[in-house]
Structure 1
Amino acid sequence: MAFEVRKPSWFSRLFRRALVGIYRQQGWRAHGVVPEPRKFVLIAAPHTSNWDFVYFLGLTEELGIMPHFMGKKSLFRWPWKNFMLDMGGVPVDRSSSKNYVQQMVDEFERREEFMLTIAPEGTRGNVKAWKTGFYHIAMGAGVPLVVGMMDYSSKSGGLGPAIWPTGDYRADMAKVAEIYATVTPRHPAKGMTAIFAKEEE
Structure 2
Amino acid sequence: MPTDANRRPSLPSRLVRRILIALYRWKGWKLEGRKPDCDKFVLLGAPHTSNWDFVFFLGATRELGIKPSFMGKASLFKWPMTDFMLDMGGLPVDRSKRGNYVDQVVQAFASTDELALVIAPEGSRTFAGSWRTGFYHIAMAAGVPIVPAWVNNATMRGGIGEPIMPTGDYRADLARIAAFYRRKRPDCDRFVALEKSAQTLEEMKGDS
Q: Do the two structures share a fold, i.e. TM-score over 0.5? A: yes
Residue 26 of structure 2 corresponds to: 25
Residue 71 of structure 1 corresponds to: 72
Q: Which has the larger radius of gyration?
A: 2
Residue 128 of structure 1 corresponds to: 129
State the Cα distance separating 1:153 from its structure 2 match.
4.7
For the residue of structure 2 that corresponds to 1:150, the secondary structure is strand
State the Cα distance separating 1:47 from its structure 2 match.
0.7
C-alpha contact 1:152 1:183 (8 A) present in aligned 2: no
Q: Which amino acid aligns with 2:29?
A: W
C-alpha contact 1:48 1:190 (8 A) present in aligned 2: no
Structure with more of its chain in helix, by fraction: 2
Per-residue Cα deviation, 1:65-105 (whole angstroms, up to 9, x for no partner): 11101101111011111111011001001126232111111
Structure 1 CA distance for aligned equivalents of residues 128 and 114 of structure 2: 31
State the Cα distance separating 1:191 from its structure 2 match.
4.6
Q: Which amino acid aligns with 1:142?
A: G
Structure 1 CA distance for aligned equivalents of residues 116 and 128 of structure 2: 24
Cα RMSD, aligned residues only = 2.3
Residue 114 of structure 2 corresponds to: 113
State how many pairs are aligned.
197
C-alpha contact 2:41 2:117 (8 A) present in aligned 1: yes
Structure 2 CA distance for aligned equivalents of residues 34 and 160 of structure 1: 9
Q: Which runs of 5+ in 2 are unaligned?
A: 202-208
State the Cα distance separating 1:3 from its structure 2 match.
7.3
TM-score when scaled to structure 1?
A: 0.88
Residue 4 of structure 1 corresponds to: 4
For the residue of structure 2 that corresponds to 1:101, the secondary structure is helix
TM-score when scaled to structure 2?
A: 0.86
For the residue of structure 2 that corresponds to 1:65, the secondary structure is coil
State the Cα distance separating 1:177 from its structure 2 match.
1.0
Structure 1 CA distance for aligned equivalents of residues 93 and 34 of structure 2: 29
Percentage identity across aligned positions?
A: 53
Structure 1 CA distance for aligned equivalents of residues 119 and 22 of structure 2: 24
C-alpha contact 2:3 2:86 (8 A) present in aligned 1: no
Per-residue Cα deviation, 1:25-53 (whole angstroms, up to 9, x for no partner): 11113232111222001111111111111
> Would the alpha carbon gap of residues 29 and 134 (structure 1) be closer, same or farther in structure 2, given more than 3 Å must change?
same
Q: Which runs of 5+ in 1 are unaligned?
A: none
Residue 193 of structure 1 corresponds to: 193
Per-residue Cα deviation, 1:160-189 (whole angstroms, up to 9, x for no partner): 10001011111111111111113349x944
For the residue of structure 2 that corresponds to 1:16, the secondary structure is helix
